[in-house]
Amino acid sequence: MRFAKRIGVASAILTLSLGTQAMAEVSCGMNTGQAATGAPILVGGIYGNAAPGDWSSSTDSAAAYFACVNANGGINGRPVDYRVENDQWNPEAAAQAAARLVNDTPTVAMVGNGSFIEMAVNANTYEAAGIMVMASACAISECFETPNIVSTNQGPLSSNLGAAQYAVEELGTRHVACIGLNIPNNGIWSCQAVQDFMRARGGEATAVLINPGAPDVNSALLEAMASGADTILINQPAGIALAILSAAEEQDLRDQFNWIAPTPLYDQSVPAAVGAYWWGHIYVNAELAPLEVNGPDAQNWIAVLDQYGRADDPRDSFGQAGYLSARFFTEAMLAMDPAQLDDRAAVGAAIRGITGYTSDLMCGPYYVGDADFHMPNHAGYMVKVVEGGFEIVRECYEYDSPYFEPHIALETQLGLR
């Protein structure tokens, strides 16, 4: 829809110049209303946009928030120069993006990263360079199990657990078939956690893996059917998830199973794309507050996107996560000694020092802490796909799994519990 994008940008500029007053008040950084003019502070971000998925919504929202911060006094008068690179789902391009943003540019931190492979390639680079990454749309284990990356989103593991827990408690699930991608640090990692969880709850789970290069998903669906499961967990990016759902619709399997999914299906274009057949039958875990909650921070995010983003920047969970990462980063920077804003180590220490930041977009507090693993966000909502949108079926709940024991210990130590 780039046609729409081009037109959208033009009209956004027009409305911006004609009627700023008519728009909702935004709150960004120091809220001075004065554009920041000082020496820029360099911040980087890497997103992945190529087949089979576009993860740029997190950096898009972060960029909009930084633009808003810059128009409102910046960070003590200094604007944020936010530079983003596309890793194109290609490991070499990902390494080159990090080389450019981390080694060749004196960026103080990375914010809003969203990718399927970038973190696996660059985790060691980040550690060696001593730079903190406040990622937003992370899909692989490295995002949550390495020292220098902290992600605002939950990733497939947590989100799967949330969905499976809801299914066990509310839908009477005994046997889950987890249809994941055959990628070790994504599908296998996150389906394994569901298997552990189901075993702990006295049920069982079967992992059904799809080769990302294979076009046909129907055989995986049939394999899930053959496993004897009563619930199908579609642990996939939205595109492949839609393909699975349409294959299931074709064979009229809707009523034979419960259908659950992690966050990627929480996208405003999904209800229309799946069609009326599925309305009321798919339960999706939302890692961050759904749009329906519409708290002050959620409204601010939309207002920031309306005024500083592009018209077609996606309004989805990963966009929320990008906004939140940028907001928390800005808060940490504002709390720092202004003399140290260009010092990567000092900024890193300030990020590690983040504790107890809150937002109505997140169920729990946001923190980083000095650990080799980070997953501040492990509580979420459950929503149901309905006509024209989503309906909340369960408010904030914390996921119950042994995986989170070290996280809970860290939270106790930080005084967050």
Site for other proteins in 85-104 (CB under 8 A): 85-86, 88-93, 95-96, 99-100, 102-104
Q: Tell me how crowded residue 200 is: count the other CB atoms within 10 A of its CB.
A: 11
Please choose, out of 7-15, 196-204, 218-226, 323-331, the segment that lies near other proteins by the rule CB under 8 A: 218-226
**By the rule CB under 8 A, 250 interacts with other proteins:** yes
Contact yes or no for 172/217 (Cβ under 8 A) = no
Choices 167-175, 264-272, 355-363, 378-386 (CB under 8 A): range interacting with other proteins: 264-272
Scan residues 130-169 and list those touching other proteins (CB under 8 A). 141-142, 145-146
Closer Cβ to other proteins, 15 or 218, answer by number: 218
Q: Cα dihedral angle (262, 268, 273, 275), rounded to 10 degrees?
A: 90
Least distance from other proteins to the Cβ atom of residue 124, Å: 7
How is residue 363 written in tokens?
């169920």
Q: Least distance from C-beta 338 to other proteins, angstroms?
A: 29
| Overall residue count recorded for the chain in this entry | 417
Q: Is 326 in the site for other proteins (CB under 8 A)?
A: no
How many Å apart are CA 263 and CA 261, to the nearest integer? 7
Strand partners, 82: 43
Q: Which of 49, 195, 340, 355 binds other proteins (CB under 8 A)?
A: 49
Binding pattern for the stretch 68-87 against other proteins, x by CB under 8 A and - elsewhere:
-----------------xx-
Residue number with CB closer to other proteins (86 or 136): 86
CB 141 to other proteins: min, Å: 5
239 vs 280, beta carbon nearer other proteins: 239
- Tell me which stretch binds other proteins (CB under 8 A): 69-77, 107-115, 169-177, 181-189: 181-189
Q: What residues pair up with 80 in beta bridges, in sequence order?
A: 41
Closer residue to other proteins in complex, CB, 96/299:
96
- Segment near other proteins (CB under 8 A); pick from 61-69, 70-78, 219-227, 362-370: 219-227
Does 217 interact with other proteins (rule: CB under 8 A)?
yes
The CA-CA-CA angle for residues 235, 237, 241, to 5°, reads 70
413 binds other proteins (CB under 8 A): no
Name which position in 17, 25, 202, 252 contacts other proteins (CB under 8 A): 252
Least gap, CB of 221 to other proteins (angstroms)? 9
Taking contact as CB under 8 A, which single stretch among the options 14-22, 179-187, 298-306, 353-361 is the one that binds other proteins?
Answer: 179-187
51 forms part of the interface with other proteins (CB under 8 A): yes
Of residues 52 and 365, the one with the C-beta less far from other proteins:
52
Considering only residues 81, 223, 230, 342, which one is a binding residue for other proteins as defined by CB under 8 A?
223
Q: Specify whether the backbone of 83 is left (phi greater than 0), alpha (psi in -120 to 50) or beta.
A: beta
Among 171, 222, 334, 416, binds other proteins (CB under 8 A): 222
| Distance from C-alpha of 276 to C-alpha of 273, rounded to nearest angstrom | 9
Cβ count within 10 A of residue 70: 23
251 near other proteins, rule: CB under 8 A: yes
Q: Is 3 in the site for other proteins (CB under 8 A)?
A: yes
Q: Judged by CB under 8 A, which of 19, 202, 213, 415 binds other proteins?
A: 213
* Stretch near other proteins under the rule CB under 8 A, chosen from 12-20, 27-35, 115-123, 164-172: 115-123
Residue 331 interacts with other proteins (CB under 8 A): yes or no = no
